[in-house]
Amino acid sequence: MGRNRAIGGINKVIPANNSFRHIIPKIQINDISENVIRCIFQDSNNKIWVATKSGRLYVYDENFALQTVFDNIPLAKGYVPVYNVYAILEDSKGNIWLGSKGGGVAVGRTSLKESKVDYRKMKFDIYRHDPADTASLSGDMVYSILEDRQNRIWIGTYGDGLNLVTGRDHDRLHCRHINRKNSNLSSDVVRQIFEDSKGNIWIATVFGVNCLRDQTLRDSAIFENFRYNPLDRASLSYNDVIHIFEDSRGRIWFGTFGGGLNLYTGEGKFKRYTQLSGLANDAVFGILEDKNGYLWLSTENGLSRFNVQEEKFESYNENNGLVSASFNENACCRTRSGQLLFGANDGLLIVTPGVAQESGIAPPLVLTNFQLFNKDVSFNDPGSPLKTTIETAKKIILHHNQSSFSIDYAALNFFDPEKNQYAFMLENFDKDWNLVKGQRRATYTNIPPGNYIFRLKGAGPDGTWSPVPLSLQITVLPPWWKTWYAYLLYIVLFLLLAELSRRIIARYIHLRNELRIERRVSEIKLQFFTNISHEIRTPLTLILGPLEDIRRHENLPASLQRPVDIMYRNGQRMLRLINQLLDFRKIQNNKMTLRVQKVNYASFLREVCRNFDHLAERKGICYVYEIPDDTIQAWIDPEKVDSILFNLLSNAFKFTPSGGTISVALSLNDKGGYFDTVVTDQGPGIPPDKIPLLFSRYTSFSAERKYFSSTGLGLALSKELALLHSGDILVESAPDKGSVFTLRLPMGKEHFKPEELCGEAATTLSVIPDTEFSDESVSEPLEAESPGNKIVVVEDNHEILDYVSSVLSERFNVISASNGKEGLEIIRKEMPDLIIADIMMPEMDGLEMTRRIKEDFRTSHIPVILLTALSDINEQIEGIKTGAEAYVLKPFHALYLKELATTLIKQRAMVFRKVADKNILEPGELKITSRDEEFIRKIISLIEENYSRPDFNVEKLVELSSCGRTVFYNKIKSFTGLSPVEFLRQMRLKIAARYLLTPGYNVSEVAYLCGFNDEKYFRKCFRDLYGMTPTEYRNRNGFAAVKTKTDR
């Protein structure tokens, strides 16, 4: 409704509710308290007493016509002004009792049971607390007055407990006081006194409820207390109880000041109803029951009707018919006609249940908004799923990534819209309707693709629901991977995957069968090698035995002592390798048994370490073993632990270069119950990804370190032997930083089987170092004093180096080197006639060394023989490609190697002699490198161009060849076996011999043509070369046509 221009604004019109009638005691008020109703009572004459907070007392008839007003309380003599009445009672004698807040009690002198009572002439007696009279009223703050079925008057005070009236006259009121001092009353602040149908007296206080079941009250009152317990949801919901009521079915209800409504269910248990249950407010001030069995509850903010059977609340406030929604405590009364009276802050509310007629018309519904992921969507937005406004939309199509949406809605009923109720469902998703009361939004998240229908129905405050729900079709499209063509693709892929799986399984079965066969073949191979090893042990024993006897022979020549020692040590090494293979086979078949003995481990370890002293000294390695003098009594199999330590130390010495350090340390861990033997080296280290493979069978890093050979069984066998001792081998290593191997063995003998124990060890074992790098006599490169051509032998195994040198030293001058780098330096310095080199060597291998020799002009002419154990044809081809003249496999025959070296040197000399005889006109026939061939061609060309010049000498030839004098000398000497001067003179003489056989030249002319100034010197040189004079040479070769004077 529009307002006038001066005031402005809009007023909302709310139709009246016929169930409610509002009476305002005073229209024109000077103070707001004049219409605040604090107490309501209907007497036996059906007169209704209404007391206001201002102190007035109104008396109405049953039709609510005002009969009289007490502005003050009239007494027999005088009056009491502003008597604020909080409680009214008519006793069994018809006397009216008025309880006042601060004014004590007033009792009417006139009985209402008398006929024709004139309320305007009523007089009252006033009774107040008298400190001098212990039987007087205990306090003047009277909140409740009750007469029980025994006609006893109970007066409840706010702060001074209970008063039981024992007698009275016009001047005095005699009372018995009941409080916390003389009873177990929970609080002296009494809000209401109530008697139930069973005669129990209930006392409502600000600290719980008290029930007096024994009413004899002999010496003291004993109450049953009910209070709030936060740990018990069946306890009273709130301690401050305002109102107590018993309904028609004998159920006791309690209204609390903040805990809502409580129903006493017996045995100290309560059932709670709060705002969450639908109650208008949790501060309940009054409770009444209408003739239909509904409970009406006045609260601090609104009036609620409670359907006890269905446990449903319907609430009323200013929006649906109430003038005032704020009520006062204990201000309620039910009239004999069935009307319910409630005292409000703005007058008296009269409720006439059943008068109002429900409209029976459901409000129209409308959709008001659509959201995607909590963001409003308009049909004007780009890519919006809405093609029109949401109010008129009939269908919405959403993509798969728009599956979370919200729909807002409203019922077009503006009479108390907060009471509108809604229910919705999404067909094909929800199984039933969602009853959401006043909620006006439906939200769905992660809706799967499909077709849905959103249905909405609503109801107004009267509960009439929409007969036909509002509908909206919603389609959520699937993502492309859930479309029919995607599923078709999945089927095809599944079939392909199934076929692939079938093939993989078939392949797996095939590989498993192959693996089974391979394992069997491996077993057969291992068994074969085991059998061979057993067979080898017999002849090896027959070899080592006689060798041992020969070594002990006193008259053994010194020349044989060294070869015998070499044979013996290598035989021992072969025996050790065979034993490792046999031990490995035993472990694999679980047939390895230990012979555990008690030994002094420190002494045992010290003895093992001593055996490597000489090897460390020879290799120039700093070898330190820190073994404490303390006795460590350990139970071990000495032979097996000896094998473990041998493998660890052998590897350390094998991979540690000269100048490095190897240390052995022994430590005892009493707390852990074990002792550690730690071997530390400064070798090349092990990459982290290789460490897990270190103890695997047949694992060898020889491919990474070509100059070391390995079977791959040593560490695997050591690991197995350590595990047999219930120990372990730990590894710490990093590339270029060395390795640390720790043998960890437990103390004691409890971890061994009884049959493995053999008592104390009598002696310890000793280790024979591996001959792969052991040599007792060779410490420096060997240079033999034998005559003949010069040969350099390069070999890292000193025993083989010594052996080859001794074989060749009978015929050649031998110089030895222990690695490729050292050998290359010696070759460039000594310029030998032949080189014999191993392939697998440290520092620089044989292939690299040969490549550098052939690429160097100074050394490219020197023949090279590669001596190696690599028998693969590809390795041999690689060796020949580097420029080597021969490839000899180990083991080799000494005589073959000696003759091969001799043949290569002789062959080269013969070739040059042949070339010289042919005047070196066809150098391509020589087996020399391309650079050497180019060099020779150049020298020949220079001689042919300048031989006739007398001043053409070696210095001129060196200068024209653009080559150093030393290199030139070495090259000519290597090719011809002559010095450059001899070579030049010989070339001139051979050219002269050719001229002698040519007609037209005499001896003198030939001498001068070939650069000789002195004919006598020419004749002498010619005779020295050919053994005859030039004339004799010409005649002997069949030519005498030309004669000189000298010849004649």
Within 10 angstroms of residue 65's Cβ, the number of other Cβ atoms is 7
Residue 78 pLDDT > 80: yes
Please report, rounded to a whole number, the percentage of residues in the chain having pLDDT higher than 90: 41
- Specify if 467 maps to a domain: yes
Taking every pair of C-alpha atoms in the chain, what is the biggest distance, in angstroms? 208
Q: Could you tell me which of 272, 175, 172, 273 has the C-alpha nearest to residue 229? A: 272
Using 50, 70 and 90 to split pLDDT, how confident is the model at 815? very high
Residue 779 pLDDT > 50: no
Using 50, 70 and 90 to split pLDDT, how confident is the model at 921? very low
Do 98 and 203 belong to one domain? Answer: yes
Residue 799 pLDDT > 90: no
Q: What is the mean pLDDT of residues 986-1008?
A: 82
Using 50, 70 and 90 to split pLDDT, how confident is the model at 570? confident
Q: What is the mean pLDDT of residues 626-654?
A: 85
CA distances (Å), origin 176, targets 156, 165, 554, 814, 934: 12, 6, 139, 140, 147
* Higher pLDDT, residue 463 or 744: 744
The domain that contains 807 carries what CATH number?
A: 3.40.50.2300
Do 747 and 633 belong to one domain? Answer: yes
Residue reference for tokens 């006109």: 921
Residue 1013's pLDDT is 78
Give the SS3 label for residue 591.
coil
Do 751 and 622 belong to one domain? Answer: yes
Out of 433-442, 482-491, 778-787, 989-998, which region has the weakest mean confidence (pLDDT)? 778-787
CA distances (Å), origin 290, targets 259, 293, 306, 350, 426: 23, 6, 10, 12, 41
Q: What is the C-alpha to C-alpha distance for residues 511 and 812, in angstroms, rounded to an integer?
A: 59
- Specify if 670 maps to a domain: yes
Residue 407 pLDDT > 80: yes
Residue 435 pLDDT > 50: yes
- Specify if 884 maps to a domain: yes
Out of 265-269, 579-583, 948-952, which region has the weakest mean confidence (pLDDT)? 579-583
Q: What is the mean pLDDT of residues 634-655?
A: 87
**Whether 835 contacts 863, CB under 8 Å:** yes
* Higher pLDDT, residue 668 or 984: 668
* Burial profile 285-296: b = 16 or more Cβ within 10 angstroms, e = fewer: bbbbbbeeebbb
Residue reference for tokens 């048994």: 593
- Specify if 259 maps to a domain: no
Residue 871's pLDDT is 62
Using 50, 70 and 90 to split pLDDT, how confident is the model at 618? confident
The domain that contains 569 carries what CATH number?
A: 1.10.287
Q: What own/partner pairs with CB < 8 Å and gap ≥ 24 does 1000-1009 have?
A: 1000/1042, 1001/1042, 1002/1042, 1002/1043, 1002/1044, 1002/1047, 1003/1030, 1003/1031, 1003/1044, 1003/1046, 1003/1047, 1004/1044, 1004/1046, 1006/1030, 1009/948
Q: What is the C-alpha to C-alpha distance for residues 992 and 1002, in angstroms, rounded to an integer?
A: 11
Q: What is the C-alpha to C-alpha distance for residues 530 and 528, in angstroms, rounded to an integer?
A: 5
- Specify if 39 maps to a domain: no
Q: Could you tell me which of 646, 534, 644, 650 has the C-alpha nearest to residue 585? A: 534
The DSSP 8-state label assigned to residue 34 in this structure reads: G
Out of 592-601, 730-739, 939-948, which region has the weakest mean confidence (pLDDT)? 939-948
Residue 665 φ then ψ, to 5°: -130, 150
User: What H or E segment, with its residue span, contains residue 1021?
Assistant: helix 1015-1026
Q: What is the C-alpha to C-alpha distance for residues 963 and 957, in angstroms, rounded to an integer?
A: 9
Highest mean pLDDT among 249-253, 896-900, 938-942, 1033-1037: 249-253
The domain that contains 1021 carries what CATH number?
A: 1.10.10.60
* Higher pLDDT, residue 756 or 535: 756
Among residues 592, 627, 647, which one ends one of the domains?
A: 592
The DSSP 8-state label assigned to residue 911 in this structure reads: H
Out of 174-188, 352-366, 904-918, which region has the weakest mean confidence (pLDDT)? 904-918
Residue 961 pLDDT > 80: no
* Burial profile 899-936: b = 16 or more Cβ within 10 angstroms, e = fewer: ebbbebbeebbebbeebbeebbeebeebebeeebeebb
- Specify if 853 maps to a domain: yes
Residue reference for tokens 């248990």: 269
Q: What is the mean pLDDT of residues 209-214?
A: 90
Residue reference for tokens 């004691």: 748
Do 571 and 620 belong to one domain? Answer: no
* Higher pLDDT, residue 15 or 810: 810
C-alpha R_g of the chain: 64
**Whether 372 contacts 447, CB under 8 Å:** no
Using 50, 70 and 90 to split pLDDT, how confident is the model at 890? confident
Write out 661-714 in H/E/C secondary structure.
EEEEEEEEECCCCEEEEEEECCCCCCCCCCHHHCCCCCCCCCCCCCCCCCCCCH
Residue reference for tokens 């306090």: 139
Q: What is the mean pLDDT of the chain?
A: 83
**Cα angle value 305/310/313 (rounded, 5°):** 25
Using 50, 70 and 90 to split pLDDT, how confident is the model at 4? low
Residue 917's pLDDT is 53
**Whether 48 contacts 40, CB under 8 Å:** yes
The DSSP 8-state label assigned to residue 1025 in this structure reads: H
- Specify if 1030 maps to a domain: yes
User: What H or E segment, with its residue span, contains residue 273?
Assistant: strand 269-273
Residue 679 pLDDT > 80: yes
Q: Could you tell me which of 116, 128, 240, 132 has the C-alpha nearest to residue 186? A: 240
**Whether 459 contacts 465, CB under 8 Å:** yes
Do 896 and 808 belong to one domain? Answer: yes
Do 503 and 407 belong to one domain? Answer: no
Q: What is the mean pLDDT of residues 761-785?
A: 44
Q: Is the pTM of this model over 0.75?
A: no
Q: Is the peptide bond before 891 cis (omega within 30 degrees of 0)?
A: yes
* Higher pLDDT, residue 602 or 416: 602
Do 955 and 983 belong to one domain? Answer: yes
The domain that contains 393 carries what CATH number?
A: 2.60.40.10
Amino acid making up residue 971 = K
The domain that contains 694 carries what CATH number?
A: 3.30.565.10
Q: What is the mean pLDDT of residues 870-893?
A: 77
Do 490 and 453 belong to one domain? Answer: no
Using 50, 70 and 90 to split pLDDT, how confident is the model at 929? low
Among residues 867, 890, 911, which one ends one of the domains?
A: 911
Residue 784 pLDDT > 50: no
Q: What is the mean pLDDT of residues 661-666?
A: 92
Residue 535's pLDDT is 63
Q: What is the dihedral of CA 315, 316, 320, 326, to 10 degrees?
A: -150
Do 394 and 488 belong to one domain? Answer: no
Domain count, the chain: 6
The DSSP 8-state label assigned to residue 358 in this structure reads: P
| Residue range of the domain that includes 983 | 918-1036
Q: Kindly report, residue by residue over 491-539, the tens digit of the pLDDT.
A: 999 999 999 999 999 999 999 998 888 888 877 776 776 666 656 665 7
**Whether 1004 contacts 1044, CB under 8 Å:** yes
Q: Which tokens go with 418?
A: 């907060």
Residue 646's pLDDT is 86
* Higher pLDDT, residue 591 or 883: 883
Do 552 and 439 belong to one domain? Answer: no
Burial class (CB in 10 A: 0-12, 13-18, 19+), 790: middle
Q: What is the C-alpha to C-alpha distance for residues 646 and 652, in angstroms, rounded to an integer?
A: 10
Using 50, 70 and 90 to split pLDDT, how confident is the model at 881? confident
Out of 242-251, 339-348, 367-376, 781-790, which region has the weakest mean confidence (pLDDT)? 781-790
Among residues 544, 562, 592, which one ends one of the domains?
A: 592
**Whether 437 contacts 419, CB under 8 Å:** no
The domain that contains 96 carries what CATH number?
A: 2.130.10.10
Phi-psi region of 541 (alpha: psi -120 to 50; beta: other; left: phi over 0): alpha
Residue 710 pLDDT > 60: no
CA distances (Å), origin 979, targets 356, 471, 705, 832, 860: 146, 119, 44, 16, 19
Rounded (10°) angle between helices 930-946 and 965-976:
100
Residue 763 pLDDT > 50: no
Residue 938 φ then ψ, to 5°: -65, -45
- Specify if 346 maps to a domain: no
Residue 132 pLDDT > 90: yes
Do 475 and 488 belong to one domain? Answer: no
Give the SS3 label for residue 976.
helix
Residue 873 pLDDT > 50: yes
Using 50, 70 and 90 to split pLDDT, how confident is the model at 558? confident
Bridge-partner residues for 423, per DSSP? 435, 457
Do 732 and 601 belong to one domain? Answer: yes
Q: What is the C-alpha to C-alpha distance for residues 505 and 517, in angstroms, rounded to an integer?
A: 18
